[in-house]
A and B are shown apart, each in its own frame.
With several copies, the nearest count.
Chain A
Amino acid sequence: MDLNYSEEENAFRAEVRAFMETSVPSDLAAKVRGGKRLSKADHESWHAILSRQGWLAPAWPVEYGGTDWDPVQRYIFEEEYVRAGAPRIVPFAVTMLAPVLIKFGTEEQKQRYLPRILDGSDWWCQGYSEPGSGSDLASLRTRAVRDGDEYIVTGQKTWTTLGHHANMIFCLVRTKQDGKPQEGISFLLIDMATPGIEVRPIITIDGEHEVNEVFFDDVRVPVANRVGEENKGWTYAKYLLGHERTGIAGIAFATQALSNLKSVARRQMKGGRPLIEDPLFASRIAMTEIELDALRTTSMRAIVAARDGNSPGIEASMLKVKGTLIRQEISNLARKALGPMAMPYVTEALDPGSNVEAVGPEGANAVSSQYFNLRKMSIYGGSNEIQRNLIAKSLGL
């Protein structure tokens, strides 16, 4: 048992840190740290910077433009880029679709789509959830009917994150009506410029437009855009969800958020002394720190198991649940730390261009809205209830 980083790993960290220090645009880091809104261009420019370095998709095989980093290196990379204030790599193409393409796509699909992800030509979004199928994903009803070399797709997807930026969507569609619901699903790649597609915003409780509904009305999709076999899409969907789950824990982001929380708690006063010295509050922060310290190792155990060829399985579900709970707890504490100053919400001040000033301490403006926004973490990516079902199932219950 050896938990220490090797010398090579420390050298790797130094390399990544040096790159980040010179490469993350300072205005971008300021936006990220201030909780401001990021534009599509912000994301694209950061992706381009990483892509030029060959680091946009570290987990991909080298032949497709990835790296040969092992999971520990990938974790170090993530830690460093979060530390540098870089925004999260938009996951839909890089960490969700690409693994599916690489494992189940045709050579043609790989050659076409993977480079376009790396060079920023395509922005992908995810077409999984539907209004009637939340946790029960397999009950989806968007239909794809074969018509010669095309499918005709009709139906509705929802919770499509950043779908308003996307030009491509990967979709689960129903290609067979009878039999078990899981056995009639196919996985399609759809150009959003195809006639019959409409994207409508969903405004969330924090007042933000992040997710969308996507409507399909007789949308024609070439059969060549199907990944893998017809009616086998459920297999690919589950493969993708497994990848999503380990990623969601987001240890590096949680570490950063905890560090922010502590600096807020050092600045906020209670009874004339820094809040961080208040025993009740200090003990809550300490508990979260302990849990995150453990989760980092839980995550490493899953990662190293994966490196050694074992499937993460139940660990992925545990990580999803605990990781999201810890992340939510940090945002909960950040909100509490601000006291009454958690209330003001000047949304204009979140727009990068705006000269409207926020109210209260630096960075306070977005804290409560983020607390509400992060409620989504225990809902999406297979809700925490679904994960608990999976854990029970894996025990044979």
Chain B
Amino acid sequence: MDFEHTEERKLLAEMVRRYIADNYDLNGRHTAAALPEGFSRERWQAFAELGLIGALFPESAGGYGGAGADIAVLFEELGRGLVVEPFLAALLAGTVLAETRSDCPQLAGLIAEETILALAHEEADSRYDLARVTTEAKHNPDGSGWVISGAKSVVLAGDSADWLIVSARISGEVTQEAGIGLFLIPANADGLSIRGYPTVDGMHAAEIALEAVTVDADALLAGEGSGYAMLERAIGAGLLALSAEALGAMDVSADLTVEYFKTRSQFGKTIGSFQALQHRLADVLIEISQTRSSLINAASRFGSDDRQEREWALSAVKVCAGRNGQMVAEEVIQMHGGIGMTWDYAVGHYAKRLVMIDHMLGDADHHLLRVANLSKGGE
């Protein structure tokens, strides 16, 4: 048993952290977030050149990583830096491609930062239920491929993507796992309309409507029998990534608070000397430590072939990220007081990101019951 990362991963983390420290301060983040696409192409290119996109995928898919620990290490640093570039969208969509069409030019383009990809899966009423897909894919009457209609909601990086991976129901009831297909569709396809917008934590997403979008037969990445499993795989990677990002954001939030505790004075002493605040900070640190442990568990089980073990751990860490992230967010703002509420100070932005992570890919309630259901078989 060993909790140390490999030398390669330590170097990767170190490199990312240094790059972010040198190039990515809060103002830079705001500037990038305010760009039309919600991120900086220049930074995205720099990240790609550092090899960060390749770290998300295995060698078989043109990358050099893709293990749970790779994803965890990288996203923890992205969380520390509050990075707005579309890594999560890349991971979600790229995971699908890596498993279904690892030699496609879109994946190569993604790793080389030339292509932006997004996974368009959630719908207005699906609320984290992976199998609830109402967007429909029908065989084109002319026999040449598919016709897809429906709407997708809160698609991360959906407004900057060149290609979308869209889930659509080929057959079955609206909540059935079987019958879901995944399609690779160019963002400029006829019938696609995309409305991008910022999210409250400074990221970007889009609402996407598909009106009889026609695609060739080879747009189908995963068919009725395998689409759901592929989705679960991609979302699983996303759960790990988001949780790691949350851990990074929690860590920085706590560090900023410790720092503030030592410098801010009230009633003639540093606020860090007030026992009530000390104890609350201690509880915050305990929960952060627990989140780290849960992340280690999930990263380690991410590669497991035992679906129950793997998905249990992924849902578990997302519960920790969601619950503890909210606790950290609320506590660090409160412990800072007014300054924590201001745009120009960092903690509020970490807090927003932490709280919004709970809204992504399933909130703590959702994953808590998923854990309960996955536990049923066990002791």
Binds B, one of A28-36, A106-114, A236-244, A285-293: A285-293
Closest to B374 in A: A286
B379 interface contact, C-beta 8 A: yes
B341 interface contact, C-beta 8 A: yes
Interface residues of B in 75-115 (CB under 8 A from A): none
Interface residues of B in 360-377 (CB under 8 A from A): 360, 363, 365, 368-369, 371-372, 375-376
Determine which of A72, A315, A318, A359 lies in contact with B207 in the assembled complex, contact meaning CB atoms within 8 Å.
Answer: A359
A38 interface contact, C-beta 8 A: no
By the criterion CB–CB under 8 Å, are B291 and A294 in contact?
yes
By the criterion CB–CB under 8 Å, are B273 and A322 in contact?
no
Given the contacts A289-B375, A343-B356, A369-B200, A205 and B348 also touching, CB distance less than 8 Å: yes
* Chief secondary structure at chain B's binding surface: helix
User: Which residues from A are CB-within-8-Å of B127?
Assistant: 268-271, 275, 339-340
Closest to B4 in A: A1
User: Which residues from A are CB-within-8-Å of B300?
Assistant: 1-4
User: Which residues from A are CB-within-8-Å of B334?
Assistant: 375, 378-379, 383-384
Given the contacts A205-B349, A346-B198, A385 and B297 also touching, CB distance less than 8 Å: no
A298 to chain B, nearest CB (A): 4
User: Which residues from B are CB-within-8-Å of A5?
Assistant: 1
Give complex CA distance A397, B254 in Å: 13
A303 to chain B, nearest CB (A): 9
Closest to B5 in A: A1
Q: How large is the interface on A (under 10, 10 to 19, 20 to 34, 35 or more residues)?
A: 35 or more
By the criterion CB–CB under 8 Å, are A336 and B272 in contact?
no
Determine which of B154, B281, B368 lies in contact with A286 in the assembled complex, contact meaning CB atoms within 8 Å.
Answer: B368
B125, B265, B268 — most chain A CB neighbours (10 Å) = B125
Given the contacts A340-B359, A340-B360, A392-B278, A158 and B297 also touching, CB distance less than 8 Å: no
User: Which residues from A are CB-within-8-Å of B344?
Assistant: 203
Interface residues of A in 362-397 (CB under 8 A from B): 368-369, 371-372, 375-376, 378-380, 383-385, 387-389, 391-392, 395-397
Residues of A participating in the B interface, judged by any CB pair closer than 8 Å: 1-6, 9, 72, 129, 132-136, 139, 158-159, 202-207, 259, 262, 268-272, 275-276, 279-283, 285-287, 289-291, 293-298, 300-301, 304, 314-315, 317-318, 321-322, 335-336, 338-347, 359-360, 368-369, 371-372, 375-376, 378-380, 383-385, 387-389, 391-392, 395-397
> What are 15 A-B residue pairs whose CB atoms fall within 8 Å in the complex?
A4-B1, A9-B1, A279-B369, A283-B368, A294-B291, A297-B294, A314-B285, A341-B124, A343-B205, A345-B200, A372-B200, A372-B355, A384-B334, A391-B282, A396-B262
